[in-house]
Amino acid sequence: MRPASTGSAPTRTRWIAPWSSWSSPTVPGSPRLSPLEFDAVLGDRVIDRDATPGIVPPVSETVVTARGLTHDYGSVIALEDLELDVPEGVVGLVGANGAGKTTLFRILLGLLHPTKGAVTVFGDDPEQDPMGVRARVGYMPEGECLPDDRTAADFVAHTAELAGIPRKEAIRRSSETLFLVGLAEERFRHLSDFSTGMRQRVKLAQAIVHDPDVVLLDEPASGLDPEGREQMLELIRRLGNFGINVIVSSHVLTDIESTASWVVLLDGGRLMRSGPIDAGTDRDTVEVDVHGDPQALIDELDRQGVPAQLFGRRVVVGPGEDLESRIVSIAATQGLGLFAMTRTTTSLEDEFLGVR
């Protein structure tokens, strides 16, 4: 366990305010846990128990840094010369199967060593200090890892004990965490009786029971039906709302768009993009129906450095910034009529397909 904050910072209190303000997202009519404290500290982050689900806090400090990170499996290059800074918040790690997402997670955990280059987690090298890094990291693997002969409560408590938490405290945390993921009523059932969605939530519970500084989620919605997928995504959003750093990998781009504030895009082991999730909006275009001389609009946009193309009476403008305001201003100056303007949004999927 990490030491409590010192100096003028508030005394560290674990596992009270964040979980006490949640009701179970999957058990209908489940009661709220009694809020024991209004303000608590999780790590060095003060938690607001009234945080609104679905709003991800702004990113700030660096969680993961990679410099020239390369890893190969013989002739197969899994990661190639990554230069990467992953900030705090909920970060989406995007890429097709085989893009290098799981390899990166294993390197961050110290389970694999880079072929060359360097990587740090909160400034610590997982190759030099794997146990120290793992104490600060929670990990939800993609593959099956649950023992069918254990109950959910026993398994999650056991993983808490492996993190150095005393048995009595581990049992308490296990119950609270399983309540959090919507398995309060099922926690004493054997894992062999659990559905795929329930097993995924147990895997999430074991990843967060020891209060990590960052949680690595490898394809957490894999194999889930639409309802189970949305429940898992809501849990991820709530983790972010309470100031817990999350790096979630997925090849389902809409999942990342609905949960993350930052995206890291990998393709064939190469970094294609790392930046705010909404940075792709400057690639949007606007289609406008013009009454008058559309070429006058195109010429003025060209003078301002904004691309535009004519299709009949319609002009497709962009990409660029402040497209609508530019079009309206030019139309007013040129005496043009505008019948309609329609923005075409560039999704993360469009961007991903565009770099392939």
**Looking at residue 186, what is its pLDDT?**
95
Asked if pLDDT for residue 278 goes beyond 80, the answer is no
In this predicted structure, the answer to whether residue 92 has a pLDDT above a threshold of 80 is: yes
Q: Which of these ranges, 112-121, 132-141, 276-285, has the smallest mean pLDDT?
A: 276-285
Helix locations, the chain, DSSP H: 17-20, 101-108, 130-134, 152-162, 167-180, 196-208, 226-241, 253-259, 294-303, 323-334, 348-355
Q: Which of 43-47, 255-259, 279-283 has the lowest mean pLDDT?
A: 43-47
Whether the pLDDT of residue 30 is over 50: the answer is no
User: What is the average per-residue pLDDT within 267-296?
Assistant: 83
In percent, the amount of the chain with pLDDT more than 70 equals: 78
pLDDT score for 143: 86
* 154 token code pair: 């026993």
- Which pair of tokens denotes residue 134? 């793992």
User: Average of pLDDT values for 250-270?
Assistant: 90
pLDDT at 279 over 70: no
User: With b meaning 16 or more CB within 10 Å and e meaning fewer, what string describes 162-195?
Assistant: ebebeeeebbebbbbbbbbbbbbebbeeebeebe
Which residues of the chain does CATH 3.40.50.300 include? 62-279
Beta carbons within 8 Å of 74's beta carbon, 6+ residues apart: none
The pLDDT of residue 210: 94
Mean local confidence (pLDDT), 326-332: 92
For 201, the token pair is 């939530």
Give the span between the Cα atoms of 177 and 232, in whole angstroms: 14
Q: Which amino acid is at 282?
A: D
What residue spans in the chain does CATH classification 3.30.70.270 cover? 284-355
Measured distance CA(220)–CA(117) in Å, rounded:
28
- To the nearest whole percent, how much of the chain has pLDDT over 90? 58
Q: How many CB atoms neighbour CB 52 within 10 A?
A: 7
CB atoms within 10 A of CB 135: 16
CATH of 62-279, one of 1.20.1740.10, 3.90.800.10, 3.40.50.300, 1.10.3720.10: 3.40.50.300
What is the DSSP pairing of strand 90-94 with strand 262-267? parallel
Q: Average pLDDT, stretch 144-169?
A: 95
| Cβ contact 148:199 at 8 Å | no
| Residues 11-22, mean pLDDT to the nearest whole number | 35
pLDDT band at 192 (very low <50, low <70, confident <90, very high): very high
pLDDT at 6 over 70: no
Kindly tell me if the per-residue pLDDT of 41 is higher than 60.
no
Architecture of domain 284-355: 2-Layer Sandwich (3.30)
Q: In this structure, are residues 237 and 248 in contact, taking their beta carbons and an 8 Å threshold? A: no
Mean pLDDT calculated for residue range 178-199: 95
CB neighbour list of residue 189: distance below 8 Å, 6 or more residues apart: 151, 152
pLDDT band per the 50, 70, 90 thresholds, residue 347: low
